[in-house]
C-alpha cells in the first residue's frame, strides 16, 4: 500500500478551508487518504480524531476532541463530519469503573460543542483516553486476516516488529477504551495497537506520522500475505459447469429471500446485487471453497449488521429450473432455522431479552454465478457486496498461512444485537415500496416522469424505458435532482420488439434481481378520421399502444412466476390506459381503439395471473400536457390540432380541459403517479379495477 501523503496537497487543503481549525483541516485531509483505501475501511468503518484547542463563545480556551461522526464516510468526510467534544470532561470518565452504553451516549451529547453535529463515534473514549493528538483506526483487511488465526501474536510480532501491542477482542465503547488506555500506559513506546478480530490503531502528535504508521504496518501485513501464497488446485474443469443463467436464478433467489409476512422480523422485499469477476469465480471454484468461506464468520464483528455472520452457499450447477427452485427453498429454510436456533440459544444462555432480527442471509455464494447480496435498498446490497468481496479475498489469502479462527459466537451476537451498532443502519419505518423494483415504459414523457417521481418517493427503484434516448436521459436527469441517482436507471427499449423487451428485462434482473411493479405506459397518438386514417399508421399506433403492452406483460410473467414459486412477492401491473377507453374522441380512432384493447388485456391478465398473486389494474387519465419541463409526446402530436379546432393557445387549451371535468381541476402527471403508488402498495385486495384520474369526466365513468 502506497503512502499518499503529500505536503503540498496538505498545505493546499488547509488553505482552502480558512474557516476551519488548521489541525482539523489536516485531520480531514489524512482521513480522506485513509478512506480512499477500501482495504483499510469500508462504508463508514474505522474512525479518526484530532485534539485541538478552540476558543468558546465566552472566549475561553478549551481542549476539544474532534472525532469522526456516525454516518460519515472517511473517503468523503468534511470538517462538519467531526463533532467536537469537551476533551477534559471525557478524560474524567476514565475514573469510572462502569459506564452503560446509554449513559455513554448521553455524556457525548451533553458535552458537544455543537448540539446539531452528528453523533460521535462509538469509539470516542478510546480516542479521548489516548494522549496523542492524531489517532487513526482502521479495519485493515490484511491486519484482520492475520488476527483471525489461532495464537496470532507470535506471527504478528515477527511481521510487524516489537513496537506494537496486541489485545484480545473487547467490546467497543467504554470497555475497549479502558483496555487500550491501560495498554498504552504500560507500554508508552508503542506506535500501534492491534485488536484481534477488529483492526488497528496508530497514533502520533503529527498527522503525517500517524497516517504513515498506519500505511507502514498494513503494508508489512500485506507483503507477508502475498509472499506466502501458494497455488491451490481448483476443481477439475470437467466438474465446473458453464455459468448459471442469472435471469432464472436471481428471481428464484429473490423470492426465497422475501420474509413471510407472518414470520417475526418482517421486512420489505430485498433487492439483489451481483459480483461475478473472474477472481471471485476462481475463489468459489476452489476445492476447499465451501469450507473456507461458509464455516467461518465475518472478518470483524462490525460487518455482521450488514452481512450476517455467515453466507449461504448454493451449488446449483447442473440443476434445471425446478431443481434450482427446490434447492434454493430448502437451503434458505435451513439457513433461517439455524439462525433462529442460534438466536434462542444465545438469548437463553445469556439470560437477555432481544427482538429477533430477520433471519435471512445477506450474502449468497453461488459457484458459476458469483457473490449475490441482498438489501432493502441498492446501497445496502452494494455495501454488503463490497464487504463480502473483501472477505472472500482476505480469507483466500489467509488460508495459505493458517486455518481461520472466527470470533466466538457470543461476541458476534453481542455486536449484531447491540443497539449502538444497529443505530448505524438508521432504521425507521420503511417506505411503502422499499425493496421493490419498478419498470415504467414510455419513460421519456411527462406522465412517466410523474409516475417515476412518485414511485421513487415511495421507496422503489425505478427503471424507465423509451425508444428515444435523448428524451429518456432528460427525464432521468430531472428525477436525479430529487432522488439518489443510483435508484434511477434509463434503458433504451422498443416495446414493439420482443427481443428488445426481453433484453431490457434481463438488464433489470441483473441490476436488482427481479421485478415487482410493471407500468405499461408507452403510447403513440395520431389524429385522423377513420376515412383518412392510413392502414400503416393505424398498425403503428396499435403496435405501440396494444402490442407494446402485450409484449412487456408477456416478458414479465416468467419473472413474476419465479419470484412467486419460492417466496411471497406479490407483483403489480398497472396499465396506463386512457379516459378515451370509455369516452373516445372523434378523429382519434387509432389511439382510442388501441388503448381500449390494452385495457382489455389488463382484465385478461388479472384473470390469468391471480393464481400467482399478481394484481393487474388500470388507470384512466385525461389530458396531461407536461411535467416540470418534460412535454407529453401525445400532446406534442395532438395539441396543435386540438388548439386549431377550438381556436385556443396552449394555456387556453389547458383551461378548456380544466373546465370540462366536474372538479374543474388540472390533471397532473403526479396524480397519475399517486394512482400507481396506490395500486403498487397493495393497500386493498384489488385486481381488475379501473381508477379514473380525470377530475371527473362523466362520459368516462367506468361502467
pLDDT digits (tens, 9 = 90+) for 262-311: 444 445 789 999 999 999 999 999 999 999 999 999 999 999 999 999 99
Domains 237-425 and 437-636+668-700 share a fold: no
pLDDT at residue 542 is higher than 50: yes
Question: Rounded to whole angstroms, how far apart are CA atoms 78 and 74?
Answer: 9
Q: For position 267, what pLDDT does the model report? A: 58
Residue 240 has pLDDT above 60, yes or no: no
What pLDDT was estimated at residue 239? 47
Asked whether residue 238 carries a pLDDT value surpassing 50, the answer given is no
d(CA 372, CA 332): 14
Cβ 193 vs Cβ 165: under 8 Å: yes
pLDDT tens digits along 437-489: 999 999 999 999 999 999 999 999 999 999 999 999 999 999 999 999 999 99
- How far is CA 431 from its chain centroid? 14
Name the strand (E) or helix (H) holding 133: none
- For position 235, what pLDDT does the model report? 56
Interatomic CA distance for residues 23 and 29, integer angstroms? 10
Give dist(CA 395, CA 403) in Å, integer.
9
Q: Which fold has domain 7-227?
A: L-fuculose-1-phosphate Aldolase (3.40.225)
Q: Would you say 657 and 583 are in contact if contact means Cβ atoms under 8 Å apart?
A: no
Q: Which CATH number fits domain 437-636+668-700: 1.10.600.10, 3.40.50.1360, 3.40.50.720, 3.40.50.300?
A: 3.40.50.720
Rounded mean pLDDT, 409-432: 87
Per DSSP, 138 falls in state E
Mean pLDDT of 65-82: 94
pLDDT confidence band for 492 (50 / 70 / 90): very high
Mean pLDDT of 683-699: 95
pLDDT higher than 50, residue 356: yes
In the prediction, which pLDDT does 690 show?
97
Tell me the mean pLDDT in the region 640-661. 83
> Average pLDDT of 607-612?
97
Average pLDDT, the chain: 93
For the ranges 24-28, 174-178, 388-392, 426-430, which has the lowest average pLDDT?
426-430
- 215-247 burial, b if ≥16 CB within 10 A, otherwise e? bbbbebbbebbeeeeeeeebeeeeeeeeebebb
More confident residue, 240 or 455: 455
Arithmetic mean of pLDDT, 155-163: 96
Return the pLDDT at 44: 72
Domain spans, the chain:
7-227, 237-425, 437-636+668-700
pLDDT of residue 637: 76
459480483: which residue's cell? 275
One-character DSSP codes across 290-326? HHHHHSS--SSGGGHHHH-SSPEE---TT--HHHHHH
585 confidence band (pLDDT: 50, 70, 90)? confident
d(CA 209, CA 50): 13
Q: Is the pLDDT of residue 347 over 50?
A: yes
Cell of 175: 470497555
Cα–Cα distance for residue pair 319/296, rounded to 1 Å = 27
Give dist(CA 191, CA 175) in Å, integer.
Answer: 21
Which residues, including other chains, have CB under 8 Å from residue 8's CB and lie 6 or more apart?
A: none
Please choose, from the candidates 423, 412, 429, the residue with its C-alpha nearest in 3D space to the C-alpha of residue 345: 412
Is 237's pLDDT higher than 50? Answer: no
Look at residue 570 in the predicted model and tell me its pLDDT: 86
CATH architecture of 237-425: 3-Layer(aba) Sandwich (3.40)
Which residue reads 436527469 in cell numbers? Answer: 477
Q: pTM (2 decimals)?
A: 0.93
In contact, 252 and 325? CB cutoff 8 Å: yes
| 51 class by beta-carbon count within 10 Å (0-12 exposed, 13-18 middle, 19+ buried) | buried
Those residues whose C-beta lies under 8 Å from the C-beta of residue 158, and which sit 6 or more positions away, are none
What pLDDT is attached to residue 628? 83
When pLDDT is cut at 50, 70 and 90, the band that residue 647 belongs to is confident
Amino acid at each position: 500500500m502506497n503512502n499518499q501523503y503529500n505536503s503540498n496537497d496538505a498545505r493546499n487543503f488547509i488553505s482552502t478551508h480558512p474557516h476551519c481549525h488548521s489541525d482539523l483541516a489536516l485531520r480531514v485531509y489524512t482521513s480522506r487518504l485513509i478512506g480512499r483505501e477500501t482495504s483499510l475501511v469500508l462504508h463508514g468503518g474505522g474512525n479518526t480524531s484530532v485534539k485541538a484547542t478552540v476558543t468558546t463563545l465566552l472566549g475561553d480556551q478549551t481542549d476539544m476532541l474532534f472525532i469522526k461522526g456516525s454516518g460519515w464516510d472517511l473517503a468523503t468526510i468534511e470538517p462538519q463530519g467531526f463533532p467536537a467534544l469537551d476533551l477534559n470532561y471525557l478524560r474524567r470518565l476514565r475514573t469510572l469503573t462502569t459506564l452503560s452504553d446509554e449513559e455513554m451516549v448521553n455524556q457525548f451529547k451533553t458535552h458537544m460543542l455543537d448540539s446539531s453535529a452528528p453523533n460521535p463515534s462509538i469509539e470516542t473514549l478510546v480516542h479521548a483516553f489516548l494522549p496523542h493528538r492524531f489517532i487513526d483506526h482502521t479495519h485493515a483487511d490484511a491486519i484482520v486476516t492475520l488476527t483471525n488465526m489461532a495464537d496470532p501474536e507470535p506471527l504478528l510480532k515477527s511481521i510487524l516488529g516489537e513496537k506494537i501491542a496486541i489485545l484480545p477482542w473487547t467490546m467497543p465503547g467504554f470497555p475497549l477504551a479502558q483496555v487500550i488506555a491501560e495498554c498504552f500506559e504500560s507500554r508508552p513506546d508503542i506506535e500501534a495497537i492491534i485488536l484481534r478480530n477488529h483492526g488497528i490503531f496508530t497514533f502520533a502528535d503529527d498527522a503525517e506520522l500517524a497516517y504513515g504508521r498506519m500505511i507502514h504496518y498494513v503494508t508489512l501485513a500485506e507483503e507477508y500475505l502475498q509472499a506466502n501464497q501458494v497455488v491451490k488446485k481448483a476443481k477439475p474443469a470437467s466438474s465446473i459447469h458453464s455459468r448459471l443463467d442469472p435471469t432464472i436464478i436471481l428471481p428464484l433467489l429473490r423470492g426465497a429471500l422475501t420474509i413471510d409476512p407472518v414470520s417475526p422480523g418482517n421486512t420489505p422485499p430485498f433487492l439483489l446485487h451481483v459480483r461475478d469477476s473472474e477472481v471471485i469465480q476462481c475463489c468459489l471454484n476452489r476445492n476447499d471453497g465451501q469450507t473456507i468461506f461458509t464455516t467461518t464468520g465475518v472478518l470483524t464483528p462490525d460487518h455482521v449488521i450488514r452481512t450476517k455472520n455467515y453466507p449461504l452457499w448454493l451449488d446449483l450447477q447442473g440443476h434445471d429450473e425446478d431443481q434450482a427452485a427446490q434447492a434454493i427453498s430448502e437451503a434458505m429454510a435451513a439457513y433461517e432455522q439455524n439462525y433462529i436456533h442460534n438466536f434462542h440459544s444465545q438469548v437463553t444462555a445469556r439470560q437477555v431479552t432481544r427482538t429477533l432480527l430477520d433471519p435471512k442471509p445477506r450474502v449468497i455464494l453461488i459457484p458459476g454465478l458469483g457473490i449475490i447480496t441482498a438489501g432493502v435498498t441498492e446501497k445496502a446490497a452494494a455495501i454488503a457486496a463490497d464487504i463480502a468481496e473483501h472477505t472472500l479475498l482476505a480469507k483466500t489469502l489467509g488460508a495459505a498461512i493458517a486455518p481461520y479462527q472466527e470470533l466466538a459466537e457470543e461476541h458476534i451476537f453481542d455486536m449484531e444485537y447491540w443497539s449502538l451498532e444497529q443505530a448505524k443502519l438508521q432504521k425507521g419505518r420503511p417506505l411503502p415500496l422499499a425493496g421493490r423494483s419498478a419498470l415504467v415504459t414510455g419513460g421519456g414523457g411527462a406522465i412517466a416522469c410523474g409516475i417515476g417521481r412518485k414511485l421513487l418517493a415511495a421507496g422503489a427503484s425505478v427503471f424507465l424505458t423509451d425508444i428515444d434516448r435523448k428524451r429518456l436521459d432528460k427525464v432521468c436527469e430531472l428525477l436525479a435532482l430529487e432522488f439518489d441517482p443510483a435508484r434511477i436507471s434509463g434503458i433504451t427499449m422498443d416495446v414493439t420488439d420482443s427481443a428488445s423487451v426481453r433484453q431490457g428485462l434481463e438488464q433489470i434482473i441483473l441490476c436488482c434481481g427481479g421485478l415487482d411493479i410493471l407500468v405499461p405506459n408507452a403510447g403513440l397518438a395520431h389524429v385522423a378520421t377513420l376515412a383518412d386514417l392510413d392502414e400503416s399508421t393505424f398498425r403503428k399506433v396499435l403496435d405501440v399502444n396494444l402490442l407494446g403492452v402485450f409484449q412487456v406483460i408477456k416478458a414479465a410473467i416468467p419473472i413474476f412466476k419465479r419470484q412467486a414459486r419460492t417466496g411471497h412477492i406479490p407483483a403489480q401491473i398497472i396499465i396506463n390506459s386512457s379516459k378515451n377507453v370509455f369516452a373516445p374522441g372523434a378523429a382519434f380512432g387509432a389511439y382510442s381503439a388501441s388503448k381500449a384493447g390494452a385495457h382489455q388485456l389488463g382484465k385478461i391478465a388479472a384473470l390469468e395471473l391471480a393464481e400467482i398473486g399478481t394484481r393487474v389494474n388500470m388507470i384512466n387519465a385525461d389530458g396531461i400536457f407536461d411535467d416540470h419541463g418534460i412535454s407529453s409526446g401525445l400532446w406534442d402530436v395532438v395539441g396543435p390540432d386540438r388548439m386549431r379546432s377550438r381556436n385556443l393557445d396552449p394555456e387556453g387549451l389547458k383551461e378548456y380541459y380544466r373546465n370540462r371535468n366536474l372538479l374543474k381541476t388540472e390533471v397532473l402527471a403526479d396524480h397519475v403517479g399517486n394512482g400507481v403508488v396506490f395500486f403498487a402498495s397493495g393497500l386493498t385486495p384489488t385486481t381488475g379495477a379501473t381508477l379514473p384520474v380525470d377530475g371527473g369526466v362523466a362520459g368516462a365513468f367506468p361502467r
